Structure 1
Amino acid sequence: MDFITLCYHEFRDTPINTEIQSIPVEVANGYQDNLPIALYTDIQDFKEQMQYCINNGFNFITIEDVEAFYKDRKMLPSKAILLTFDDAYQSMKKLAYPLLKANKIPATMFVVSGWMYEKSKAWDATVAQTMSWTDLETMSDCLTTANHTHWMHQRTHLQGSIQTEPKQAVVDDILKCATYVDAPKIFAYPFGFYDPSVFASLENANIEFAFTTKPGVNTLSTPRFELKRNIIPYKMPLSAFVELLEKR
Protein backbone atom coordinates (compact mmCIF):
# COMPACT_ATOMS: atom_id res chain seq x y z
CA MET A 1 0.00 0.00 0.00
CA ASP A 2 1.15 3.52 -0.73
CA PHE A 3 -0.04 7.01 -1.54
CA ILE A 4 1.33 9.97 -3.41
CA THR A 5 0.97 13.54 -2.14
CA LEU A 6 0.59 16.52 -4.46
CA CYS A 7 1.38 20.06 -3.34
CA TYR A 8 0.02 23.31 -4.79
CA HIS A 9 0.30 26.95 -3.69
CA GLU A 10 -0.98 29.78 -5.93
CA PHE A 11 -3.24 29.76 -9.00
CA ARG A 12 -3.79 32.11 -11.92
CA ASP A 13 -6.23 32.08 -14.83
CA THR A 14 -4.07 34.26 -17.08
CA PRO A 15 -0.46 33.72 -18.23
CA ILE A 16 2.30 34.84 -15.88
CA ASN A 17 5.40 36.69 -17.04
CA THR A 18 8.01 34.13 -16.03
CA GLU A 19 10.82 36.65 -16.51
CA ILE A 20 9.93 38.23 -13.17
CA GLN A 21 10.69 34.93 -11.36
CA SER A 22 8.62 35.72 -8.25
CA ILE A 23 5.67 37.72 -6.93
CA PRO A 24 5.41 39.42 -3.50
CA VAL A 25 3.34 37.79 -0.79
CA GLU A 26 0.84 39.86 1.18
CA VAL A 27 -0.16 38.42 4.54
CA ALA A 28 -1.88 39.63 7.71
CA ASN A 29 1.21 39.88 9.92
CA GLY A 30 3.16 41.92 7.38
CA TYR A 31 5.85 39.31 6.68
CA GLN A 32 7.63 40.21 3.45
CA ASP A 33 8.84 37.64 0.97
CA ASN A 34 8.31 36.61 -2.63
CA LEU A 35 6.65 33.47 -3.94
CA PRO A 36 8.56 31.93 -6.86
CA ILE A 37 6.66 31.60 -10.12
CA ALA A 38 7.54 27.90 -10.03
CA LEU A 39 5.02 27.56 -7.17
CA TYR A 40 2.15 28.94 -9.24
CA THR A 41 -0.29 26.81 -11.23
CA ASP A 42 -2.29 27.72 -14.31
CA ILE A 43 -5.87 26.84 -13.42
CA GLN A 44 -6.45 25.20 -16.80
CA ASP A 45 -3.48 22.91 -16.13
CA PHE A 46 -4.94 22.09 -12.71
CA LYS A 47 -8.27 21.21 -14.27
CA GLU A 48 -6.57 18.90 -16.76
CA GLN A 49 -4.52 17.28 -14.00
CA MET A 50 -7.55 16.62 -11.81
CA GLN A 51 -9.56 15.35 -14.77
CA TYR A 52 -6.79 12.91 -15.62
CA CYS A 53 -6.92 11.58 -12.06
CA ILE A 54 -10.70 11.21 -12.18
CA ASN A 55 -10.70 9.55 -15.60
CA ASN A 56 -7.94 7.08 -14.78
CA GLY A 57 -9.07 5.51 -11.54
CA PHE A 58 -7.11 7.54 -9.01
CA ASN A 59 -8.66 7.91 -5.57
CA PHE A 60 -8.39 11.10 -3.54
CA ILE A 61 -7.90 10.39 0.16
CA THR A 62 -8.18 12.54 3.27
CA ILE A 63 -5.60 13.33 5.91
CA GLU A 64 -7.69 11.16 8.25
CA ASP A 65 -7.12 8.27 5.86
CA VAL A 66 -3.38 8.87 6.11
CA GLU A 67 -3.53 8.82 9.91
CA ALA A 68 -5.49 5.56 9.88
CA PHE A 69 -3.04 4.07 7.38
CA TYR A 70 -0.07 4.63 9.69
CA LYS A 71 -1.72 4.19 13.08
CA ASP A 72 -4.14 1.35 12.38
CA ARG A 73 -2.73 -0.16 9.17
CA LYS A 74 -6.04 0.64 7.53
CA MET A 75 -6.11 -0.22 3.85
CA LEU A 76 -5.89 2.63 1.37
CA PRO A 77 -7.63 2.48 -2.00
CA SER A 78 -5.50 1.72 -5.02
CA LYS A 79 -3.83 4.68 -6.75
CA ALA A 80 -4.33 6.87 -3.68
CA ILE A 81 -3.64 10.61 -3.88
CA LEU A 82 -3.49 13.10 -1.01
CA LEU A 83 -4.11 16.58 -2.41
CA THR A 84 -2.55 19.44 -0.41
CA PHE A 85 -2.41 23.22 -0.64
CA ASP A 86 -0.02 25.46 1.28
CA ASP A 87 -0.45 28.91 2.85
CA ALA A 88 -4.17 29.52 2.12
CA TYR A 89 -3.81 31.99 -0.72
CA GLN A 90 -6.92 33.72 -2.07
CA SER A 91 -6.54 32.19 -5.50
CA MET A 92 -7.13 28.71 -4.17
CA LYS A 93 -10.66 29.68 -3.11
CA LYS A 94 -11.34 31.76 -6.22
CA LEU A 95 -10.01 29.33 -8.83
CA ALA A 96 -9.31 25.83 -7.47
CA TYR A 97 -12.03 25.31 -4.87
CA PRO A 98 -14.95 25.35 -7.35
CA LEU A 99 -13.38 22.39 -9.13
CA LEU A 100 -12.90 20.49 -5.86
CA LYS A 101 -16.48 21.17 -4.85
CA ALA A 102 -17.96 20.16 -8.19
CA ASN A 103 -16.08 16.85 -8.14
CA LYS A 104 -16.26 16.24 -4.37
CA ILE A 105 -12.47 16.09 -4.12
CA PRO A 106 -11.15 16.21 -0.53
CA ALA A 107 -7.95 18.12 0.21
CA THR A 108 -5.76 19.35 3.05
CA MET A 109 -4.81 23.01 3.49
CA PHE A 110 -1.66 23.73 5.50
CA VAL A 111 -2.41 27.05 7.19
CA VAL A 112 -0.01 29.65 8.58
CA SER A 113 -2.43 30.90 11.22
CA GLY A 114 -0.63 34.22 11.77
CA TRP A 115 -0.96 35.02 8.08
CA MET A 116 -4.75 34.82 7.96
CA TYR A 117 -6.86 37.98 7.75
CA GLU A 118 -9.84 38.61 9.99
CA LYS A 119 -11.79 40.09 7.08
CA SER A 120 -11.73 39.15 3.41
CA LYS A 121 -9.54 41.29 1.16
CA ALA A 122 -10.29 42.32 -2.40
CA TRP A 123 -8.76 40.03 -5.02
CA ASP A 124 -5.40 41.34 -6.25
CA ALA A 125 -3.55 39.28 -8.87
CA THR A 126 -0.37 41.35 -8.48
CA VAL A 127 0.41 39.72 -5.13
CA ALA A 128 0.14 36.33 -3.49
CA GLN A 129 -2.41 37.28 -0.85
CA THR A 130 -3.74 35.06 1.90
CA MET A 131 -7.44 34.69 2.56
CA SER A 132 -9.50 35.31 5.70
CA TRP A 133 -10.72 32.78 8.25
CA THR A 134 -14.23 33.26 6.91
CA ASP A 135 -13.03 32.45 3.40
CA LEU A 136 -11.44 29.29 4.70
CA GLU A 137 -14.54 28.22 6.59
CA THR A 138 -16.66 28.37 3.43
CA MET A 139 -14.55 25.55 1.98
CA SER A 140 -14.93 23.16 4.91
CA ASP A 141 -16.95 20.73 2.78
CA CYS A 142 -13.75 19.88 0.89
CA LEU A 143 -10.87 21.10 3.02
CA THR A 144 -9.29 19.90 6.25
CA THR A 145 -6.92 22.50 7.69
CA ALA A 146 -3.58 21.46 9.17
CA ASN A 147 -0.55 22.95 10.92
CA HIS A 148 1.97 25.14 9.05
CA THR A 149 3.12 27.26 12.07
CA HIS A 150 1.67 30.50 13.44
CA TRP A 151 4.45 33.07 12.94
CA MET A 152 7.41 30.91 11.97
CA HIS A 153 6.81 30.63 8.25
CA GLN A 154 9.94 32.74 7.82
CA ARG A 155 13.39 32.03 6.51
CA THR A 156 16.97 33.20 6.42
CA HIS A 157 18.46 32.07 3.15
CA LEU A 158 18.06 28.26 3.15
CA GLN A 159 17.07 27.84 6.78
CA GLY A 160 13.62 28.22 8.26
CA SER A 161 12.76 29.78 11.60
CA ILE A 162 11.92 26.36 13.05
CA GLN A 163 15.63 25.54 12.59
CA THR A 164 17.08 28.77 13.94
CA GLU A 165 14.75 29.98 16.70
CA PRO A 166 14.94 28.66 20.31
CA LYS A 167 13.35 25.23 20.56
CA GLN A 168 10.72 26.26 23.10
CA ALA A 169 9.69 29.19 20.92
CA VAL A 170 9.23 26.76 18.03
CA VAL A 171 7.11 24.46 20.19
CA ASP A 172 4.96 27.37 21.39
CA ASP A 173 4.45 28.63 17.84
CA ILE A 174 3.34 25.24 16.52
CA LEU A 175 1.02 24.79 19.48
CA LYS A 176 -0.54 28.18 18.79
CA CYS A 177 -1.30 27.22 15.19
CA ALA A 178 -2.77 23.99 16.54
CA THR A 179 -5.55 25.96 18.22
CA TYR A 180 -6.80 27.22 14.84
CA VAL A 181 -6.77 24.14 12.59
CA ASP A 182 -8.77 20.94 12.16
CA ALA A 183 -5.77 18.61 12.20
CA PRO A 184 -3.39 20.17 14.74
CA LYS A 185 -1.03 17.18 14.83
CA ILE A 186 -0.40 17.14 11.08
CA PHE A 187 2.42 19.48 10.04
CA ALA A 188 4.13 20.69 6.87
CA TYR A 189 7.60 22.24 7.06
CA PRO A 190 7.58 25.90 5.95
CA PHE A 191 9.50 26.18 2.67
CA GLY A 192 10.25 22.48 3.06
CA PHE A 193 13.20 23.44 5.31
CA TYR A 194 14.05 21.06 8.13
CA ASP A 195 16.74 18.85 9.60
CA PRO A 196 16.68 16.15 12.30
CA SER A 197 17.30 18.75 15.02
CA VAL A 198 13.68 19.93 14.70
CA PHE A 199 12.14 16.51 15.37
CA ALA A 200 12.27 16.96 19.15
CA SER A 201 10.36 20.24 18.84
CA LEU A 202 7.71 18.51 16.76
CA GLU A 203 7.38 15.78 19.37
CA ASN A 204 7.03 18.36 22.14
CA ALA A 205 4.36 20.17 20.12
CA ASN A 206 2.37 16.92 19.80
CA ILE A 207 2.99 16.62 16.06
CA GLU A 208 2.44 13.07 14.82
CA PHE A 209 3.15 13.42 11.09
CA ALA A 210 5.15 15.99 9.12
CA PHE A 211 5.29 16.53 5.37
CA THR A 212 8.39 17.60 3.48
CA THR A 213 8.71 18.84 -0.09
CA LYS A 214 10.86 15.89 -1.08
CA PRO A 215 9.31 14.06 -4.02
CA GLY A 216 8.34 10.42 -3.99
CA VAL A 217 5.76 7.93 -2.80
CA ASN A 218 4.79 7.30 0.83
CA THR A 219 4.65 3.76 2.20
CA LEU A 220 4.35 2.30 5.69
CA SER A 221 8.14 2.47 5.96
CA THR A 222 8.35 6.22 5.23
CA PRO A 223 9.52 8.04 8.41
CA ARG A 224 6.55 9.85 9.96
CA PHE A 225 8.40 13.19 10.14
CA GLU A 226 9.63 12.89 6.56
CA LEU A 227 6.53 12.17 4.52
CA LYS A 228 7.05 13.00 0.87
CA ARG A 229 5.20 15.60 -1.19
CA ASN A 230 5.49 16.35 -4.86
CA ILE A 231 5.35 20.05 -5.74
CA ILE A 232 3.60 20.54 -9.07
CA PRO A 233 5.55 23.34 -10.80
CA TYR A 234 4.21 26.06 -13.07
CA LYS A 235 3.30 24.87 -16.57
CA MET A 236 4.21 21.26 -15.85
CA PRO A 237 3.34 19.34 -19.03
CA LEU A 238 0.47 16.92 -18.58
CA SER A 239 2.76 14.14 -19.80
CA ALA A 240 5.16 14.86 -16.91
CA PHE A 241 2.27 14.92 -14.45
CA VAL A 242 1.07 11.55 -15.75
CA GLU A 243 4.57 10.12 -15.45
CA LEU A 244 4.76 11.33 -11.83
CA LEU A 245 1.54 9.52 -10.96
CA GLU A 246 2.07 6.37 -12.97
CA LYS A 247 5.74 5.62 -12.21
CA ARG A 248 4.86 4.20 -8.80
Structure 2
Amino acid sequence: MLSTVRSSLLLGALSASMALQAQDYLPILQYHHVSESSPKSTSVTPAQFTEHMDYLVSAGFQVVDLKSALDDLKANKALPEKAVAITFDDAYRNIYQAGFPILKARDFPFTVFINTYPVERKSRSFLTWEQMQEMQAAGGVFANHTINHPYMLRKEAGETDEVWFARMVQEVDTVEALLIKHLGESPKMLAYPYGESDRQIRTMMKDRGIMAFGQQSGVVSADSDFENLPRFPASGVYANLSTLKTKLNAKPMPLLKEKNGGDYAGDQPVSVRLTFKEGKYRFKDLACYVAGQGKAKLDWVSDTEVVAMAEKPFNVGRGRINCTMPDNTGAQYYWYSHVWIRSSPDQGYVSEKS
Protein backbone atom coordinates (compact mmCIF):
# COMPACT_ATOMS: atom_id res chain seq x y z
CA MET A 1 0.00 0.00 0.00
CA LEU A 2 2.82 2.38 0.96
CA SER A 3 4.64 1.66 -2.31
CA THR A 4 1.43 2.38 -4.24
CA VAL A 5 1.09 5.75 -2.49
CA ARG A 6 4.73 6.54 -3.17
CA SER A 7 4.29 5.62 -6.83
CA SER A 8 1.22 7.84 -7.08
CA LEU A 9 3.08 10.73 -5.47
CA LEU A 10 6.03 10.20 -7.80
CA LEU A 11 3.78 10.13 -10.85
CA GLY A 12 2.01 13.25 -9.65
CA ALA A 13 5.30 15.07 -9.14
CA LEU A 14 6.51 13.94 -12.54
CA SER A 15 3.29 15.15 -14.19
CA ALA A 16 3.59 18.49 -12.42
CA SER A 17 7.20 18.81 -13.54
CA MET A 18 6.23 18.01 -17.12
CA ALA A 19 3.41 20.56 -16.94
CA LEU A 20 5.85 23.22 -15.80
CA GLN A 21 8.08 22.40 -18.73
CA ALA A 22 5.25 22.47 -21.26
CA GLN A 23 4.75 25.47 -23.51
CA ASP A 24 1.43 26.90 -24.69
CA TYR A 25 2.81 29.16 -27.44
CA LEU A 26 5.05 28.90 -30.49
CA PRO A 27 7.58 31.28 -32.05
CA ILE A 28 7.94 30.68 -35.79
CA LEU A 29 10.95 31.77 -37.84
CA GLN A 30 10.46 33.02 -41.40
CA TYR A 31 13.21 32.76 -44.03
CA HIS A 32 13.34 33.21 -47.81
CA HIS A 33 16.75 32.73 -49.46
CA VAL A 34 19.76 30.88 -48.06
CA SER A 35 22.47 32.32 -50.30
CA GLU A 36 25.45 34.65 -50.59
CA SER A 37 24.22 36.21 -53.84
CA SER A 38 20.44 36.71 -53.47
CA PRO A 39 18.88 40.02 -52.34
CA LYS A 40 20.19 40.83 -48.87
CA SER A 41 16.81 42.07 -47.61
CA THR A 42 15.33 38.56 -47.88
CA SER A 43 18.43 36.44 -47.38
CA VAL A 44 20.62 34.73 -44.86
CA THR A 45 23.99 33.43 -45.91
CA PRO A 46 24.70 29.73 -45.34
CA ALA A 47 27.04 30.80 -42.52
CA GLN A 48 24.30 32.86 -40.85
CA PHE A 49 21.78 30.07 -41.24
CA THR A 50 24.23 27.60 -39.72
CA GLU A 51 24.76 30.00 -36.81
CA HIS A 52 21.00 30.22 -36.23
CA MET A 53 20.51 26.44 -36.34
CA ASP A 54 23.52 25.79 -34.10
CA TYR A 55 22.11 28.25 -31.58
CA LEU A 56 18.79 26.39 -31.53
CA VAL A 57 20.73 23.23 -30.66
CA SER A 58 23.03 24.77 -28.05
CA ALA A 59 20.22 26.70 -26.33
CA GLY A 60 18.03 23.63 -26.03
CA PHE A 61 15.26 24.63 -28.45
CA GLN A 62 13.09 21.85 -29.82
CA VAL A 63 12.28 22.34 -33.49
CA VAL A 64 8.78 21.02 -34.10
CA ASP A 65 6.65 20.28 -37.13
CA LEU A 66 4.61 23.43 -37.78
CA LYS A 67 1.32 21.80 -38.76
CA SER A 68 1.31 19.41 -35.79
CA ALA A 69 2.21 22.20 -33.38
CA LEU A 70 -0.55 24.48 -34.66
CA ASP A 71 -3.09 21.67 -34.38
CA ASP A 72 -1.97 21.06 -30.79
CA LEU A 73 -2.26 24.75 -29.89
CA LYS A 74 -5.76 24.95 -31.37
CA ALA A 75 -6.71 21.93 -29.25
CA ASN A 76 -5.10 23.47 -26.13
CA LYS A 77 -2.48 20.73 -26.00
CA ALA A 78 0.92 21.66 -24.60
CA LEU A 79 3.99 21.85 -26.80
CA PRO A 80 7.50 20.83 -25.70
CA GLU A 81 9.43 23.37 -23.68
CA LYS A 82 11.29 25.82 -25.97
CA ALA A 83 9.37 24.67 -29.04
CA VAL A 84 10.07 26.61 -32.24
CA ALA A 85 9.18 26.10 -35.91
CA ILE A 86 11.14 26.94 -39.08
CA THR A 87 9.54 28.20 -42.31
CA PHE A 88 10.56 29.51 -45.72
CA ASP A 89 8.53 31.60 -48.16
CA ASP A 90 8.82 31.10 -51.93
CA ALA A 91 10.17 28.01 -53.61
CA TYR A 92 13.74 29.16 -54.13
CA ARG A 93 16.17 26.45 -55.18
CA ASN A 94 18.86 27.73 -52.80
CA ILE A 95 16.68 26.43 -49.95
CA TYR A 96 17.41 22.95 -51.31
CA GLN A 97 21.02 23.68 -52.21
CA ALA A 98 22.16 25.52 -49.08
CA GLY A 99 19.47 25.34 -46.41
CA PHE A 100 18.32 21.73 -46.65
CA PRO A 101 21.71 20.12 -45.92
CA ILE A 102 21.99 22.20 -42.74
CA LEU A 103 18.49 21.22 -41.61
CA LYS A 104 18.90 17.57 -42.56
CA ALA A 105 22.17 17.27 -40.61
CA ARG A 106 20.31 18.37 -37.46
CA ASP A 107 17.14 16.38 -38.22
CA PHE A 108 15.04 19.57 -38.08
CA PRO A 109 11.54 19.58 -39.57
CA PHE A 110 10.66 22.64 -41.67
CA THR A 111 7.92 24.07 -43.88
CA VAL A 112 8.28 25.77 -47.28
CA PHE A 113 5.42 27.88 -48.64
CA ILE A 114 5.62 27.54 -52.42
CA ASN A 115 4.32 29.70 -55.27
CA THR A 116 3.86 27.19 -58.06
CA TYR A 117 4.05 29.22 -61.31
CA PRO A 118 7.88 29.21 -61.51
CA VAL A 119 7.95 25.58 -60.33
CA GLU A 120 5.60 24.48 -63.12
CA ARG A 121 7.63 26.52 -65.63
CA LYS A 122 10.75 24.65 -64.43
CA SER A 123 12.61 27.87 -63.61
CA ARG A 124 16.23 27.14 -62.72
CA SER A 125 15.99 29.44 -59.70
CA PHE A 126 13.13 27.50 -58.11
CA LEU A 127 12.59 24.08 -56.63
CA THR A 128 11.53 21.10 -58.69
CA TRP A 129 8.84 18.69 -57.54
CA GLU A 130 11.53 15.98 -57.37
CA GLN A 131 13.63 18.08 -55.00
CA MET A 132 10.56 18.71 -52.87
CA GLN A 133 9.86 14.97 -52.73
CA GLU A 134 13.42 14.39 -51.50
CA MET A 135 13.05 17.11 -48.87
CA GLN A 136 9.64 15.77 -47.86
CA ALA A 137 11.18 12.37 -47.14
CA ALA A 138 13.56 14.08 -44.69
CA GLY A 139 10.95 16.07 -42.75
CA GLY A 140 10.11 18.91 -45.12
CA VAL A 141 6.51 20.04 -45.51
CA PHE A 142 5.28 22.07 -48.48
CA ALA A 143 2.39 24.47 -48.22
CA ASN A 144 0.47 27.08 -50.20
CA HIS A 145 1.88 30.46 -51.26
CA THR A 146 -0.51 30.87 -54.25
CA ILE A 147 0.28 30.35 -57.94
CA ASN A 148 1.62 33.76 -58.94
CA HIS A 149 2.48 35.44 -55.62
CA PRO A 150 -0.01 38.31 -56.20
CA TYR A 151 -1.01 41.14 -53.94
CA MET A 152 -4.16 39.32 -52.92
CA LEU A 153 -6.13 42.50 -52.19
CA ARG A 154 -5.43 44.25 -55.51
CA LYS A 155 -7.79 44.03 -58.46
CA GLU A 156 -6.47 43.98 -62.00
CA ALA A 157 -7.57 46.72 -64.39
CA GLY A 158 -11.27 46.36 -65.19
CA GLU A 159 -11.90 43.60 -62.66
CA THR A 160 -15.11 43.57 -60.65
CA ASP A 161 -15.03 42.47 -57.03
CA GLU A 162 -16.57 39.15 -58.09
CA VAL A 163 -13.97 38.47 -60.79
CA TRP A 164 -11.15 39.47 -58.41
CA PHE A 165 -12.39 37.08 -55.73
CA ALA A 166 -12.78 34.21 -58.22
CA ARG A 167 -9.15 34.79 -59.26
CA MET A 168 -8.02 34.60 -55.64
CA VAL A 169 -9.96 31.37 -55.15
CA GLN A 170 -8.16 29.94 -58.18
CA GLU A 171 -4.79 31.12 -56.81
CA VAL A 172 -5.42 29.10 -53.64
CA ASP A 173 -7.28 26.04 -54.90
CA THR A 174 -4.89 25.34 -57.79
CA VAL A 175 -1.91 25.11 -55.45
CA GLU A 176 -3.83 22.85 -53.08
CA ALA A 177 -4.50 20.47 -55.99
CA LEU A 178 -0.86 20.57 -57.15
CA LEU A 179 0.43 19.75 -53.67
CA ILE A 180 -1.78 16.68 -53.54
CA LYS A 181 -0.89 15.66 -57.12
CA HIS A 182 2.90 15.88 -56.71
CA LEU A 183 3.47 15.35 -52.96
CA GLY A 184 0.45 13.27 -51.98
CA GLU A 185 -0.91 15.69 -49.39
CA SER A 186 -1.53 19.29 -48.38
CA PRO A 187 -0.98 20.51 -44.80
CA LYS A 188 -3.77 23.07 -45.30
CA MET A 189 -1.51 26.05 -44.52
CA LEU A 190 -0.93 29.21 -46.54
CA ALA A 191 1.34 32.24 -46.31
CA TYR A 192 -0.22 35.38 -47.77
CA PRO A 193 2.07 36.97 -50.38
CA TYR A 194 3.38 40.23 -48.90
CA GLY A 195 1.42 39.30 -45.77
CA GLU A 196 -1.73 40.98 -47.05
CA SER A 197 -5.27 39.75 -46.36
CA ASP A 198 -8.66 41.09 -45.35
CA ARG A 199 -11.83 39.69 -43.81
CA GLN A 200 -13.05 38.20 -47.10
CA ILE A 201 -9.76 36.44 -47.82
CA ARG A 202 -9.49 35.18 -44.24
CA THR A 203 -13.05 33.85 -44.42
CA MET A 204 -12.08 32.00 -47.60
CA MET A 205 -9.21 30.38 -45.68
CA LYS A 206 -11.47 29.41 -42.79
CA ASP A 207 -14.06 27.89 -45.14
CA ARG A 208 -11.33 25.69 -46.61
CA GLY A 209 -9.86 24.70 -43.24
CA ILE A 210 -6.59 26.47 -44.11
CA MET A 211 -4.42 28.08 -41.43
CA ALA A 212 -2.76 31.19 -42.83
CA PHE A 213 0.10 33.57 -42.03
CA GLY A 214 0.52 37.33 -42.38
CA GLN A 215 3.78 39.26 -42.00
CA GLN A 216 3.21 40.73 -38.56
CA SER A 217 5.70 39.62 -35.95
CA GLY A 218 4.73 37.76 -32.82
CA VAL A 219 4.06 34.40 -31.20
CA VAL A 220 1.23 31.96 -31.89
CA SER A 221 -1.02 30.74 -29.08
CA ALA A 222 -4.50 29.27 -28.75
CA ASP A 223 -5.81 32.86 -28.67
CA SER A 224 -4.33 33.71 -32.09
CA ASP A 225 -6.31 34.34 -35.26
CA PHE A 226 -5.51 31.12 -37.14
CA GLU A 227 -6.33 32.78 -40.46
CA ASN A 228 -3.77 35.55 -39.81
CA LEU A 229 -0.91 34.11 -37.79
CA PRO A 230 2.35 35.92 -36.94
CA ARG A 231 5.95 34.90 -37.57
CA PHE A 232 9.34 36.41 -36.84
CA PRO A 233 11.41 37.35 -39.92
CA ALA A 234 14.95 36.02 -39.60
CA SER A 235 16.54 37.26 -42.83
CA GLY A 236 18.21 40.47 -43.91
CA VAL A 237 18.37 43.06 -41.13
CA TYR A 238 16.66 40.54 -38.83
CA ALA A 239 19.39 37.90 -39.23
CA ASN A 240 21.45 39.27 -36.31
CA LEU A 241 21.64 36.49 -33.74
CA SER A 242 21.40 38.74 -30.69
CA THR A 243 18.04 40.20 -31.78
CA LEU A 244 16.86 36.79 -32.92
CA LYS A 245 17.49 35.42 -29.43
CA THR A 246 15.01 37.95 -28.01
CA LYS A 247 12.36 36.86 -30.48
CA LEU A 248 12.96 33.18 -29.85
CA ASN A 249 12.27 33.83 -26.17
CA ALA A 250 9.13 35.88 -26.82
CA LYS A 251 5.68 35.14 -25.43
CA PRO A 252 2.28 36.19 -26.78
CA MET A 253 1.01 39.47 -25.32
CA PRO A 254 -1.60 38.55 -22.63
CA LEU A 255 -4.54 40.26 -24.33
CA LEU A 256 -8.21 39.93 -23.58
CA LYS A 257 -9.08 41.88 -26.74
CA GLU A 258 -7.69 44.39 -29.22
CA LYS A 259 -9.22 47.11 -31.37
CA ASN A 260 -7.07 48.20 -34.29
CA GLY A 261 -9.40 49.80 -36.83
CA GLY A 262 -9.06 47.02 -39.40
CA ASP A 263 -6.62 46.21 -42.17
CA TYR A 264 -6.36 49.61 -43.87
CA ALA A 265 -4.85 52.92 -42.79
CA GLY A 266 -6.03 56.24 -44.17
CA ASP A 267 -4.90 59.83 -44.00
CA GLN A 268 -5.09 59.90 -40.19
CA PRO A 269 -2.61 58.38 -37.70
CA VAL A 270 -3.44 54.82 -36.69
CA SER A 271 -3.97 53.60 -33.14
CA VAL A 272 -4.54 50.30 -31.39
CA ARG A 273 -6.47 49.72 -28.16
CA LEU A 274 -5.22 46.78 -26.08
CA THR A 275 -7.12 45.25 -23.17
CA PHE A 276 -5.00 42.96 -21.00
CA LYS A 277 -5.99 39.83 -19.12
CA GLU A 278 -6.08 39.95 -15.35
CA GLY A 279 -2.70 39.26 -13.82
CA LYS A 280 0.48 40.77 -12.47
CA TYR A 281 2.25 42.34 -15.43
CA ARG A 282 4.92 45.01 -15.80
CA PHE A 283 2.64 47.52 -17.49
CA LYS A 284 5.02 50.40 -16.72
CA ASP A 285 7.56 48.72 -18.99
CA LEU A 286 5.22 48.32 -21.96
CA ALA A 287 6.69 50.01 -25.05
CA CYS A 288 5.13 50.35 -28.50
CA TYR A 289 6.92 51.40 -31.66
CA VAL A 290 5.48 52.78 -34.89
CA ALA A 291 7.25 51.86 -38.12
CA GLY A 292 9.30 54.82 -39.29
CA GLN A 293 8.19 57.03 -36.39
CA GLY A 294 9.73 55.69 -33.19
CA LYS A 295 7.88 55.24 -29.91
CA ALA A 296 4.10 55.40 -29.93
CA LYS A 297 2.25 57.60 -27.46
CA LEU A 298 0.58 55.47 -24.77
CA ASP A 299 -2.69 56.54 -23.19
CA TRP A 300 -3.74 54.33 -20.27
CA VAL A 301 -7.52 54.53 -20.10
CA SER A 302 -7.70 52.08 -17.19
CA ASP A 303 -5.36 49.86 -15.17
CA THR A 304 -5.58 47.14 -17.83
CA GLU A 305 -6.38 49.06 -21.02
CA VAL A 306 -4.07 51.20 -23.16
CA VAL A 307 -4.27 53.03 -26.49
CA ALA A 308 -1.04 53.18 -28.52
CA MET A 309 -1.08 55.99 -31.08
CA ALA A 310 1.07 56.95 -34.05
CA GLU A 311 1.97 60.62 -34.37
CA LYS A 312 1.65 60.81 -38.15
CA PRO A 313 -0.21 58.96 -40.91
CA PHE A 314 1.65 56.14 -42.65
CA ASN A 315 3.05 56.63 -46.12
CA VAL A 316 1.62 54.47 -48.91
CA GLY A 317 2.56 50.85 -48.29
CA ARG A 318 2.47 48.72 -45.16
CA GLY A 319 2.99 50.13 -41.68
CA ARG A 320 2.88 48.55 -38.26
CA ILE A 321 2.87 49.02 -34.53
CA ASN A 322 4.93 46.57 -32.46
CA CYS A 323 4.54 46.38 -28.67
CA THR A 324 6.74 44.55 -26.18
CA MET A 325 6.65 44.12 -22.42
CA PRO A 326 9.08 42.16 -20.19
CA ASP A 327 7.62 39.34 -18.15
CA ASN A 328 8.08 39.30 -14.38
CA THR A 329 11.42 37.50 -14.67
CA GLY A 330 12.80 40.02 -17.15
CA ALA A 331 14.19 37.10 -19.15
CA GLN A 332 11.41 37.02 -21.74
CA TYR A 333 9.25 39.56 -23.54
CA TYR A 334 5.57 39.56 -24.38
CA TRP A 335 5.11 40.57 -28.02
CA TYR A 336 2.33 42.12 -30.12
CA SER A 337 2.22 43.47 -33.68
CA HIS A 338 -0.39 44.75 -36.11
CA VAL A 339 0.08 45.69 -39.77
CA TRP A 340 -1.98 48.21 -41.76
CA ILE A 341 -2.08 48.87 -45.51
CA ARG A 342 -2.07 52.48 -46.73
CA SER A 343 -3.14 52.22 -50.35
CA SER A 344 -3.19 54.71 -53.20
CA PRO A 345 -6.06 54.88 -55.73
CA ASP A 346 -3.93 53.62 -58.62
CA GLN A 347 -3.12 50.33 -56.85
CA GLY A 348 -6.64 48.93 -57.21
CA TYR A 349 -7.15 47.67 -53.67
CA VAL A 350 -10.54 46.16 -52.91
CA SER A 351 -12.76 48.08 -50.53
CA GLU A 352 -12.31 47.33 -46.85
CA LYS A 353 -16.09 46.82 -46.69
CA SER A 354 -15.55 43.53 -48.49
| TM-score tier after normalising by the smaller chain length | 0.7 to 0.9
Q: Could you report, residue by residue, the CA deviation over 1:182-235 in whole angstroms, capped at 9, with x for unpaired residues?
A: 33521110111222232233234x143111111111111011111111111326
Aligned to 2:126: 130
Is the 8 Å Cα contact of residues 219 and 250 (structure 2) preserved in structure 1?
no
Identity among equivalent pairs (%): 26
Q: 1:120 to 1:167 in 2, by over 3 A?
A: closer
Q: Residues 189-228 of structure 1: matches in 2 within 5 Å?
A: 189-204=192-207, 206-228=208-230
Matched residues in 2 for 1:215 and 1:100: separation?
Answer: 23
Measure the CA separation in 1 of the matches of 2:74 and 2:246. 30
User: 232, 236, 240: which is aligned to 1:237?
Assistant: 240
In structure 2, what is the Cα distance between the partners aligned to 1:180 and 1:80?
A: 30
| Structure 1 pair 102–120 and aligned structure 2 pair: CA distance change class (3 A) | farther
Inter-CA distance 146–4: structure 2 relative to 1 (3 Å threshold): same
Partner of 1:106: 109
Deviation at 1:119, TM superposition (A): 5.0
Which residue number in structure 2 is paired with residue 73 of structure 1? 76
Q: Which has the higher contact order (CA 8 A, sep 6+)?
A: 1
> Match of 1:43?
46
Segments of 5+ residues of structure 1 without an aligned counterpart are: 17-22, 24-35, 122-128, 155-159
Q: Distance in 2 between matches of 1:239 and 1:220?
A: 28
Q: Does 1:177 align with 2:200?
A: no
1:145 aligns with 2:147: no
Aligned to 1:10: 33
> Which deviations, in whole Å up to 9, do the C-alpha atoms of 1:168-192 show, x marking residues without a partner?
2211221110012233521110111
TM-score (norm 2): 0.57
Unaligned runs of 5+ in 2: 1-23, 156-162, 180-184, 252-354
Aligned length: 214
After TM superposition, the score normalised by the length of structure 1 is 0.79
How far apart, in 2, do the equivalents of 1:184 and 1:45 lie?
28
Aligned 8 A contact 2:73 2:79 in 1: no
